[in-house]
């Protein structure tokens, strides 16, 4: 057993071991869609995978997360878990998978995960507060037998067989503040914490105003998303000059985490939650 201090230098070195949380930790915050306060308690769990139960309905059975539960990918990744819907899971799942946690119980109050600051950093900090507990060697994910590519319009995702987990994302926007950005890395817990976790969600001023007016993002605010007005940002400073593409990579990881970390090199060109989760489903059915 290894107990972490708050320092991020003590994350697992790689993803060869199975880890859970060392103790429960709870956070609450505004939900993007409802604007209501959402609450989440992360608990240690021995069985492999990410499992969801309900603080507000403890009698319901636990659900193990799986890409087949994806029911909506427009503004976030939402899951249908038996009779309950759970939205905005991707940043939390990226944090869990990214730091090396392979088993956890997520106890949720309400229909969505708190948005926090729009990045995975607050979840990383919550996990660092309680530390990780080793569960032994992690079962090796079966290697891809062939590349998988999925396409939607000009966007595509591709997964290639690889001994090491490498992720890359590229984005292309007409807005000069974003333009073309590429980010790639060999994923390790430390690289995730330092280079990916702090990157926040971004949106466009006009689109954000429309969604707010339509009541679709009641919890959307300038402290939980970067807002682009074309040539610049409404709420600078950025945490990285290329924060948008790093956030795309964060979303990619969070969506792939529904299937567990792949033994693959994955590239998402103009990725979306729809493409990412479709790839997670394809990775599960190919293994």
Distance CA 70, CA 275 (A): 12
Q: Shortest approach of Zn ion to residue 149 CB, angstroms?
A: 23
Q: Which is nearer to Zn ion, 18 or 168 (CB)?
A: 168
Instruction: Say how many residues touch Zn ion, by CB under 5 A.
Output: 2
Q: Which is nearer to Zn ion, 195 or 287 (CB)?
A: 195
Q: Which is nearer to Zn ion, 133 or 246 (CB)?
A: 246
Tokens of 127: 């996990």
Distance CA 186, CA 274 (A): 23
Q: Which is nearer to Zn ion, 190 or 243 (CB)?
A: 243
Contact region with Zn ion (CB under 5 A), list: 22-30, 134-142, 203-211, 249-257: 249-257
Contacts of Zn ion in 76-95 (CB under 5 A): none
The answer to whether residue 121 forms part of the interface with Zn ion (CB under 5 A) is no
Q: Shortest approach of Zn ion to residue 202 CB, angstroms?
A: 9
CB 251 within 8 A of CB 66: no
Residues in contact with 214: Cβ distance below 8 Å, sequence separation at least 6, in sequence order: none
Q: Shortest approach of Zn ion to residue 156 CB, angstroms?
A: 19
Residues in contact with 244: Cβ distance below 8 Å, sequence separation at least 6, in sequence order: 171, 173, 178, 181, 199, 202, 226
Does residue 237 have a cis bond before it (omega within 30 degrees)?
yes
The answer to whether residue 265 forms part of the interface with Zn ion (CB under 5 A) is no
Q: Which of 42, 31, 262 is nearest to 141 (CA)?
A: 262
230: left (phi over 0), alpha (psi -120 to 50) or beta: left
Q: Shortest approach of Zn ion to residue 252 CB, angstroms?
A: 9
Q: Shortest approach of Zn ion to residue 195 CB, angstroms?
A: 16
The answer to whether residue 251 forms part of the interface with Zn ion (CB under 5 A) is yes
What amino acid positions are annotated as catalytic residues?
Answer: 273
Helices 90-99 and 121-130 pack at an angle, to 10 degrees, of 50
Contacts of Zn ion in 186-225 (CB under 5 A): 201
Q: Which is nearer to Zn ion, 112 or 251 (CB)?
A: 251
Q: List contacts with Zn ion (CB under 5 A).
A: 201, 251
């Amino acid at each position: 057993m290894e107990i972490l201090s708050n320092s991020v230098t003590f994350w697992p070195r790689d993803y060869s071991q199975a880890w859970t949380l060392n103790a429960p930790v709870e956070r609450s915050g505004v939900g993007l869609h409802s604007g209501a306060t959402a609450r989440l308690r992360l608990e240690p769990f021995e069985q492999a995978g990410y499992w969801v139960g309900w603080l507000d309905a403890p009698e319901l059975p636990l659900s193990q997360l799986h890409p087949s539960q994806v029911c909506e990918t427009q503004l976030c990744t939402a899951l249908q878990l038996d009779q309950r819907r759970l939205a905005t899971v991707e940043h939390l799942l990226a944090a869990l998978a990214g730091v090396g946690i392979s088993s956890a119980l997520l106890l949720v109050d309400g229909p969505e995960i708190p948005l926090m600051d729009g990045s995975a950093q607050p979840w990383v900090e919550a996990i660092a507060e309680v530390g990780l507990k080793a569960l032994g060697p992690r079962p090796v994910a079966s290697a891809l037998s062939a590349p998988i590519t999925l396409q939607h319009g000009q966007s595509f995702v591709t997964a290639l067989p690889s001994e090491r987990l490498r992720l890359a994302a590229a984005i292309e926007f007409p807005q000069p503040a974003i333009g073309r950005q590429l980010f790639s890395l060999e994923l390790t817990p430390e690289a995730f914490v330092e280079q990916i976790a702090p990157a926040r969600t971004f949106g466009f001023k006009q689109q954000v105003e429309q969604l707010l007016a339509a009541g679709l993002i009641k919890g959307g605010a300038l402290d939980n998303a970067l807002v682009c007005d074309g040539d610049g940002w409404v709420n600078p400073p950025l945490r990285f000059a290329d924060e948008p593409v790093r956030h795309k990579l964060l979303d990619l990881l969070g969506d792939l985490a529904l299937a567990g970390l792949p033994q693959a090199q994955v590239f998402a060109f103009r990725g979306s939650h729809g493409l990412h989760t479709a790839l997670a489903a394809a990775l599960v059915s190919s293994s």
